[in-house]
Amino acid sequence: MKLTDDEVGNLLVELEQLDARVRARIKELKSDLGLKGKFSPKIYEGRIIRGEIQSSIRDLKEGHLERALDQVWVLSQKGLKIKSIQFPRDHKTFSQLRQECIRKNPEQLIKRSKSHGGGYRS
């Protein structure tokens, strides 16, 4: 999936707005629940989602488009509405595509020594 600079910019703006809305919602929940709401499941889930949004914003700013799109896909699967990007029905994340490629071509894997945990890495 290729994005133009304008689409990346629009996605970045939308993610920053989404981050602000999630932050406001967390603050609202905390004020409604008081001190006992500090460990509320809704606040906890909101903090996890906010962390994913912030990491995708950071990845977009640093130019790691594949990683950012994977995180945006995960956010859209959790039910967040992201209008600036539309994924096709049969969309596969870049990590899934990489795993399929490794399954088809296992010779591209590099064997790791036992002192580094053994096994293989891509």
**C-alpha–C-alpha distance, residues 73 and 96, integer Å:** 12
Whole domain around residue 65: which residue ranges? 5-88
120 and 81 in one domain? no
Q: State pLDDT tens for residues 10-63.
A: 888 888 998 999 999 988 888 887 766 667 788 888 888 999 999 999 998 998
Q: What is the pLDDT of residue 20?
A: 93
Which residues, in sequence order, are CB contacts of 74 under 8 Å at separation 6+? Answer: 52, 93
pLDDT greater at residue 2 or residue 38: 2
Q: State pLDDT tens for residues 80-89.
A: 888 877 777 7
13 and 45 in one domain? yes
97 and 78 in one domain? no
**C-alpha–C-alpha distance, residues 122 and 107, integer Å:** 10
Alpha helices in 1-122 (DSSP H): 5-33, 41-62, 65-77, 94-104
- Domains contained in the chain, number: 2
75 and 111 in one domain? no
**C-alpha–C-alpha distance, residues 46 and 120, integer Å:** 36
105 and 122 in one domain? yes
Within 10 angstroms of residue 88's Cβ, the number of other Cβ atoms is 7
115 and 84 in one domain? no
